[in-house]
Protein backbone atom coordinates (compact mmCIF):
# COMPACT_ATOMS: atom_id res chain seq x y z
CA UNK A 1 0.00 0.00 0.00
CA UNK A 2 2.84 2.37 0.86
CA UNK A 3 4.35 1.64 -2.57
CA UNK A 4 1.00 2.47 -4.19
CA UNK A 5 0.75 5.85 -2.47
CA UNK A 6 4.35 6.61 -3.42
CA UNK A 7 3.50 6.00 -7.06
CA UNK A 8 0.42 8.22 -6.79
CA UNK A 9 2.49 11.01 -5.27
CA UNK A 10 5.12 10.73 -8.00
CA UNK A 11 2.41 10.75 -10.69
CA UNK A 12 0.77 13.82 -9.15
CA UNK A 13 4.10 15.61 -9.00
CA UNK A 14 4.87 14.67 -12.62
CA UNK A 15 1.42 15.90 -13.76
CA UNK A 16 1.88 19.13 -11.85
CA UNK A 17 5.25 19.72 -13.55
CA UNK A 18 3.72 19.11 -16.97
CA UNK A 19 0.83 21.48 -16.26
CA UNK A 20 3.21 24.13 -14.95
CA UNK A 21 5.41 23.77 -18.03
CA UNK A 22 2.37 24.01 -20.30
CA UNK A 23 1.23 27.17 -18.53
CA UNK A 24 4.70 28.63 -18.88
CA UNK A 25 4.76 27.79 -22.59
CA UNK A 26 1.30 29.29 -23.07
CA UNK A 27 2.36 32.42 -21.26
CA UNK A 28 5.57 32.81 -23.25
CA UNK A 29 5.88 36.60 -23.48
CA UNK A 30 7.61 36.28 -26.86
CA UNK A 31 4.45 34.98 -28.55
CA UNK A 32 1.62 37.35 -29.39
CA UNK A 33 -1.59 35.62 -30.46
CA UNK A 34 -3.21 38.89 -31.54
CA UNK A 35 -3.85 39.48 -35.22
CA UNK A 36 -1.54 41.82 -37.10
CA UNK A 37 -3.52 44.78 -38.44
CA UNK A 38 -0.87 47.05 -39.93
CA UNK A 39 -0.06 47.63 -43.61
CA UNK A 40 0.43 44.62 -45.87
CA UNK A 41 2.37 44.15 -49.09
CA UNK A 42 1.04 41.30 -51.24
CA UNK A 43 3.90 40.07 -53.44
CA UNK A 44 1.77 37.85 -55.69
CA UNK A 45 -1.48 38.97 -57.32
CA UNK A 46 -2.87 38.35 -60.80
CA UNK A 47 -4.61 41.15 -62.69
CA UNK A 48 -6.19 39.28 -65.57
CA UNK A 49 -8.26 41.15 -68.10
CA UNK A 50 -8.68 37.92 -70.02
CA UNK A 51 -7.33 34.41 -69.48
CA UNK A 52 -8.66 31.31 -71.27
CA UNK A 53 -7.51 29.07 -68.43
CA UNK A 54 -9.78 30.83 -65.94
CA UNK A 55 -12.65 32.14 -68.07
CA UNK A 56 -14.74 29.00 -67.66
CA UNK A 57 -14.39 29.20 -63.86
CA UNK A 58 -15.81 32.72 -63.51
CA UNK A 59 -19.07 32.83 -61.57
CA UNK A 60 -18.40 29.45 -59.98
CA UNK A 61 -17.07 28.00 -56.76
CA UNK A 62 -13.45 26.93 -56.75
CA UNK A 63 -13.16 23.27 -57.79
CA UNK A 64 -12.81 20.80 -54.89
CA UNK A 65 -9.35 20.58 -53.32
CA UNK A 66 -8.33 17.15 -51.95
CA UNK A 67 -7.52 17.36 -48.26
CA UNK A 68 -9.58 20.55 -47.84
CA UNK A 69 -13.04 19.00 -47.81
CA UNK A 70 -15.66 20.60 -45.59
CA UNK A 71 -14.33 24.14 -45.90
CA UNK A 72 -16.40 26.93 -47.39
CA UNK A 73 -15.30 27.11 -51.04
CA UNK A 74 -13.95 30.30 -52.54
CA UNK A 75 -16.23 31.77 -55.20
CA UNK A 76 -15.19 33.58 -58.36
CA UNK A 77 -17.05 36.73 -59.46
CA UNK A 78 -18.84 36.58 -62.80
CA UNK A 79 -16.30 38.65 -64.80
CA UNK A 80 -12.66 39.71 -64.76
CA UNK A 81 -13.78 43.29 -64.12
CA UNK A 82 -15.72 42.09 -61.06
CA UNK A 83 -12.64 40.16 -59.91
CA UNK A 84 -10.65 43.41 -60.03
CA UNK A 85 -13.34 45.32 -58.14
CA UNK A 86 -13.60 42.70 -55.39
CA UNK A 87 -9.81 42.40 -55.14
CA UNK A 88 -9.50 46.15 -54.62
CA UNK A 89 -12.16 45.83 -51.91
CA UNK A 90 -9.98 43.19 -50.23
CA UNK A 91 -7.01 45.56 -50.47
CA UNK A 92 -8.98 48.25 -48.63
CA UNK A 93 -10.41 45.88 -46.04
CA UNK A 94 -7.05 44.35 -45.12
CA UNK A 95 -4.88 47.47 -45.46
CA UNK A 96 -2.92 46.12 -48.44
CA UNK A 97 -0.86 49.11 -49.50
CA UNK A 98 1.14 47.47 -52.30
CA UNK A 99 0.47 44.49 -54.54
CA UNK A 100 2.80 42.95 -57.13
CA UNK A 101 0.31 42.33 -59.92
CA UNK A 102 0.97 40.29 -63.06
CA UNK A 103 -0.09 41.30 -65.63
CA UNK A 104 -0.33 44.66 -63.94
CA UNK A 105 -0.52 47.53 -66.44
CA UNK A 106 -4.32 47.70 -66.52
CA UNK A 107 -4.66 47.62 -62.73
CA UNK A 108 -1.79 50.09 -62.31
CA UNK A 109 -3.68 52.63 -64.43
CA UNK A 110 -6.46 52.49 -61.85
CA UNK A 111 -4.28 52.51 -58.71
CA UNK A 112 -0.74 53.66 -59.57
CA UNK A 113 0.34 54.12 -55.95
CA UNK A 114 -0.73 50.60 -55.01
CA UNK A 115 0.04 48.35 -57.98
CA UNK A 116 3.57 47.09 -58.66
CA UNK A 117 3.60 46.05 -62.31
CA UNK A 118 4.80 42.53 -62.98
CA UNK A 119 5.14 40.60 -66.21
CA UNK A 120 5.91 37.04 -67.17
CA UNK A 121 8.31 36.03 -69.91
CA UNK A 122 5.84 35.37 -72.71
CA UNK A 123 7.03 38.71 -74.12
CA UNK A 124 10.27 39.40 -76.03
CA UNK A 125 13.11 40.81 -73.96
CA UNK A 126 13.31 44.04 -75.95
CA UNK A 127 9.62 44.72 -75.46
CA UNK A 128 10.08 44.26 -71.70
CA UNK A 129 12.97 46.71 -71.82
CA UNK A 130 10.74 49.30 -73.52
CA UNK A 131 8.02 48.72 -70.94
CA UNK A 132 10.53 49.34 -68.17
CA UNK A 133 11.60 52.60 -69.84
CA UNK A 134 7.94 53.65 -69.90
CA UNK A 135 7.50 52.85 -66.20
CA UNK A 136 5.36 49.81 -67.01
CA UNK A 137 7.59 47.07 -65.58
CA UNK A 138 8.70 46.85 -61.95
CA UNK A 139 9.09 43.09 -61.39
CA UNK A 140 9.87 40.25 -63.77
CA UNK A 141 7.29 37.84 -62.48
CA UNK A 142 5.52 35.60 -62.34
CA UNK A 143 8.19 33.66 -64.23
CA UNK A 144 6.70 30.19 -64.57
CA UNK A 145 8.22 28.24 -67.48
CA UNK A 146 7.75 24.98 -65.59
CA UNK A 147 4.22 24.89 -67.02
CA UNK A 148 5.92 24.26 -70.36
CA UNK A 149 8.35 21.77 -68.80
CA UNK A 150 11.24 24.28 -68.96
CA UNK A 151 13.86 24.22 -66.20
CA UNK A 152 15.35 27.42 -64.71
CA UNK A 153 18.71 26.46 -66.22
CA UNK A 154 17.35 26.42 -69.78
CA UNK A 155 19.41 28.69 -72.06
CA UNK A 156 16.22 30.34 -73.31
CA UNK A 157 15.78 32.00 -69.91
CA UNK A 158 19.25 33.53 -69.77
CA UNK A 159 18.30 36.77 -71.58
CA UNK A 160 15.47 37.37 -69.10
CA UNK A 161 17.67 36.88 -66.04
CA UNK A 162 20.25 39.15 -67.66
CA UNK A 163 17.60 41.81 -68.27
CA UNK A 164 16.46 41.77 -64.65
CA UNK A 165 20.08 41.95 -63.51
CA UNK A 166 20.78 44.87 -65.85
CA UNK A 167 17.64 46.81 -64.90
CA UNK A 168 17.99 45.96 -61.19
CA UNK A 169 14.42 44.72 -60.90
CA UNK A 170 13.31 41.70 -58.86
CA UNK A 171 12.53 38.30 -60.34
CA UNK A 172 9.56 36.38 -58.94
CA UNK A 173 10.18 32.74 -59.90
CA UNK A 174 7.59 29.96 -59.70
CA UNK A 175 8.94 26.49 -58.97
CA UNK A 176 6.19 24.37 -57.41
CA UNK A 177 3.32 23.61 -56.85
CA UNK A 178 2.06 23.78 -60.40
CA UNK A 179 -1.69 24.15 -60.63
CA UNK A 180 -4.14 21.88 -58.79
CA UNK A 181 -3.30 18.43 -57.49
CA UNK A 182 -2.80 16.09 -60.43
CA UNK A 183 -2.39 19.04 -62.81
CA UNK A 184 -0.04 17.05 -65.05
CA UNK A 185 -2.99 14.78 -65.90
CA UNK A 186 -5.21 17.73 -66.78
CA UNK A 187 -4.55 21.36 -67.70
CA UNK A 188 -0.76 21.31 -67.20
CA UNK A 189 0.59 18.16 -68.89
CA UNK A 190 4.19 19.44 -69.01
CA UNK A 191 4.60 20.11 -65.26
CA UNK A 192 6.75 17.74 -63.21
CA UNK A 193 7.12 17.71 -59.44
CA UNK A 194 10.78 16.73 -59.85
CA UNK A 195 11.44 20.06 -61.56
CA UNK A 196 10.46 22.11 -58.51
CA UNK A 197 13.73 21.84 -56.60
CA UNK A 198 15.09 25.29 -55.64
CA UNK A 199 18.79 24.37 -55.80
CA UNK A 200 18.46 24.55 -59.58
CA UNK A 201 18.71 28.32 -59.16
CA UNK A 202 22.17 28.26 -57.60
CA UNK A 203 24.35 28.80 -60.68
CA UNK A 204 21.96 31.48 -61.95
CA UNK A 205 22.47 33.36 -58.68
CA UNK A 206 26.23 32.93 -58.64
CA UNK A 207 26.46 34.36 -62.15
CA UNK A 208 24.34 37.39 -61.08
CA UNK A 209 25.15 37.91 -57.39
CA UNK A 210 23.18 41.13 -56.95
CA UNK A 211 20.02 39.95 -58.73
CA UNK A 212 16.97 40.24 -56.50
CA UNK A 213 15.19 36.90 -56.53
CA UNK A 214 12.15 35.75 -54.63
CA UNK A 215 10.76 32.26 -54.92
CA UNK A 216 7.01 32.12 -55.22
CA UNK A 217 5.08 29.62 -53.09
CA UNK A 218 8.27 29.30 -50.99
CA UNK A 219 9.26 26.30 -53.15
CA UNK A 220 6.90 24.00 -51.27
CA UNK A 221 7.42 21.15 -50.47
CA UNK A 222 11.22 21.31 -50.85
CA UNK A 223 11.94 22.78 -47.42
CA UNK A 224 15.43 21.32 -46.93
CA UNK A 225 16.61 22.33 -50.40
CA UNK A 226 15.17 25.80 -49.84
CA UNK A 227 16.96 26.21 -46.52
CA UNK A 228 20.23 25.23 -48.18
CA UNK A 229 19.69 27.75 -51.00
CA UNK A 230 18.73 30.58 -48.62
CA UNK A 231 21.69 29.84 -46.37
CA UNK A 232 24.12 29.92 -49.28
CA UNK A 233 22.55 32.94 -51.00
CA UNK A 234 21.41 35.70 -48.63
CA UNK A 235 19.78 37.63 -51.50
CA UNK A 236 17.06 34.96 -51.90
CA UNK A 237 13.61 35.74 -50.46
CA UNK A 238 10.39 33.74 -50.58
CA UNK A 239 6.67 34.48 -50.60
CA UNK A 240 3.76 32.39 -49.38
CA UNK A 241 1.27 32.54 -52.27
CA UNK A 242 -1.12 29.60 -52.73
CA UNK A 243 0.40 27.52 -49.93
CA UNK A 244 -1.10 29.88 -47.33
CA UNK A 245 -4.64 28.96 -48.40
CA UNK A 246 -4.41 25.85 -50.60
CA UNK A 247 -2.64 23.56 -48.12
CA UNK A 248 -4.13 22.12 -44.95
CA UNK A 249 -3.44 24.72 -42.27
CA UNK A 250 -1.24 22.39 -40.24
CA UNK A 251 0.98 21.64 -43.24
CA UNK A 252 1.33 25.33 -44.06
CA UNK A 253 2.24 26.14 -40.46
CA UNK A 254 4.77 23.31 -40.30
CA UNK A 255 6.45 24.57 -43.48
CA UNK A 256 6.47 28.19 -42.34
CA UNK A 257 7.82 27.18 -38.94
CA UNK A 258 10.63 25.29 -40.64
CA UNK A 259 11.76 28.51 -42.31
CA UNK A 260 11.35 30.54 -39.11
CA UNK A 261 13.26 28.00 -37.01
CA UNK A 262 16.07 27.99 -39.58
CA UNK A 263 16.52 31.73 -39.03
CA UNK A 264 14.98 33.08 -42.25
CA UNK A 265 12.18 35.15 -40.72
CA UNK A 266 13.57 38.35 -42.25
CA UNK A 267 13.29 36.98 -45.81
CA UNK A 268 9.72 35.67 -45.88
CA UNK A 269 7.08 37.84 -47.56
CA UNK A 270 3.32 37.59 -47.71
CA UNK A 271 1.76 36.72 -51.03
CA UNK A 272 -1.71 35.41 -51.82
CA UNK A 273 -1.46 34.44 -55.52
CA UNK A 274 -5.01 35.73 -55.89
CA UNK A 275 -6.18 34.64 -59.33
CA UNK A 276 -9.97 34.90 -59.69
CA UNK A 277 -10.98 34.16 -56.08
CA UNK A 278 -10.52 37.42 -54.09
CA UNK A 279 -11.43 35.80 -50.76
CA UNK A 280 -8.18 33.79 -50.89
CA UNK A 281 -6.45 37.00 -49.78
CA UNK A 282 -8.26 36.99 -46.44
CA UNK A 283 -7.76 33.23 -46.10
CA UNK A 284 -4.00 33.63 -46.56
CA UNK A 285 -3.78 36.50 -44.08
CA UNK A 286 -5.65 34.44 -41.50
CA UNK A 287 -3.28 31.52 -42.05
CA UNK A 288 -0.29 33.66 -41.09
CA UNK A 289 -2.08 35.37 -38.20
CA UNK A 290 -3.07 32.01 -36.67
CA UNK A 291 0.50 30.69 -36.66
CA UNK A 292 0.90 30.56 -32.89
CA UNK A 293 4.70 30.26 -33.09
CA UNK A 294 5.05 33.76 -34.59
CA UNK A 295 5.69 36.88 -32.55
CA UNK A 296 3.98 40.10 -33.55
CA UNK A 297 7.34 41.37 -34.81
CA UNK A 298 7.66 38.31 -37.05
CA UNK A 299 4.12 38.81 -38.38
CA UNK A 300 4.92 42.44 -39.17
CA UNK A 301 8.08 41.35 -40.97
CA UNK A 302 6.20 38.80 -43.09
CA UNK A 303 3.27 41.07 -43.88
CA UNK A 304 5.22 44.28 -44.53
CA UNK A 305 8.78 44.94 -43.40
CA UNK A 306 10.56 42.26 -45.41
CA UNK A 307 8.90 43.23 -48.68
CA UNK A 308 9.42 46.95 -48.01
CA UNK A 309 13.14 46.31 -47.67
CA UNK A 310 13.28 43.94 -50.63
CA UNK A 311 11.53 46.50 -52.84
CA UNK A 312 13.69 49.30 -51.42
CA UNK A 313 10.75 51.52 -50.52
CA UNK A 314 11.71 54.97 -49.31
CA UNK A 315 11.58 55.87 -45.62
CA UNK A 316 8.88 58.42 -46.43
CA UNK A 317 6.67 55.82 -48.10
CA UNK A 318 7.16 53.34 -45.27
CA UNK A 319 6.22 55.98 -42.69
CA UNK A 320 3.13 56.87 -44.71
CA UNK A 321 2.08 53.23 -44.92
CA UNK A 322 2.54 52.64 -41.21
CA UNK A 323 0.47 55.71 -40.42
CA UNK A 324 -2.51 54.13 -42.18
CA UNK A 325 -5.06 52.33 -40.02
Decide if 292 contacts 28 (C-beta within 8 A). Answer: no
Q: What is the DSSP letter of 219?
A: G
Residue 21 predicted with pLDDT over 60: no
In a domain, 4, yes or no: no
Decide if 174 contacts 144 (C-beta within 8 A). Answer: yes
Residue 78 predicted with pLDDT over 50: yes
In a domain, 236, yes or no: yes
In a domain, 233, yes or no: yes
pLDDT tens-digit series, residues 158-188: 999 999 999 999 999 999 987 888 889 988 9
Average pLDDT, the chain: 89
- Within 10 angstroms of residue 184's Cβ, the number of other Cβ atoms is 15
Its domain, for residue 204, covers 40-61+81-323
In a domain, 6, yes or no: no
pTM value? 0.89
In a domain, 73, yes or no: no
pLDDT tens-digit series, residues 277-323: 999 999 999 999 999 999 999 999 999 999 999 999 999 999 999 99
Residue 73's Cβ-count burial label (10 Å; 0-12, 13-18, 19+) is middle
Of 257, 210, 269, nearest to 234 by C-alpha is 210
Of 325, 305, 270, nearest to 100 by C-alpha is 270
Distance CA 218, CA 240 (A): 6
Helix, strand, coil % over all residues of the chain, rounded to 5: 50, 10, 40
Distance CA 37, CA 95 (A): 8
| CATH number where 263 lies | 3.20.20.140
Number of structural domains in the chain:
1
Q: What is the DSSP letter of 216?
A: E
Distance CA 28, CA 108 (A): 43
Decide if 119 contacts 167 (C-beta within 8 A). Answer: no
In a domain, 317, yes or no: yes
Phi-psi region of 149 (alpha: psi -120 to 50; beta: other; left: phi over 0): left
pLDDT tens-digit series, residues 104-148: 999 999 999 999 999 999 999 999 999 999 999 999 999 999 999
Amino acid sequence: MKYFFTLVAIAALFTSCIQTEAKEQKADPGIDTANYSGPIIDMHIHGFTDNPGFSDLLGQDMPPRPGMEGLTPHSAPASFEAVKKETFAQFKKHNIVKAMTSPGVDWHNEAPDKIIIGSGIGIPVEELRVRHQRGQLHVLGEVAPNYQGILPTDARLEPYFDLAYELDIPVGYHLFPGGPQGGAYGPYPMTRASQGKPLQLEEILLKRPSMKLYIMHAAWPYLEDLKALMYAHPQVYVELGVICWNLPRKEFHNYLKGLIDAGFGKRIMYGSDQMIWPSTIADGIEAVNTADFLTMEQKEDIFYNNAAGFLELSEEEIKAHKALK
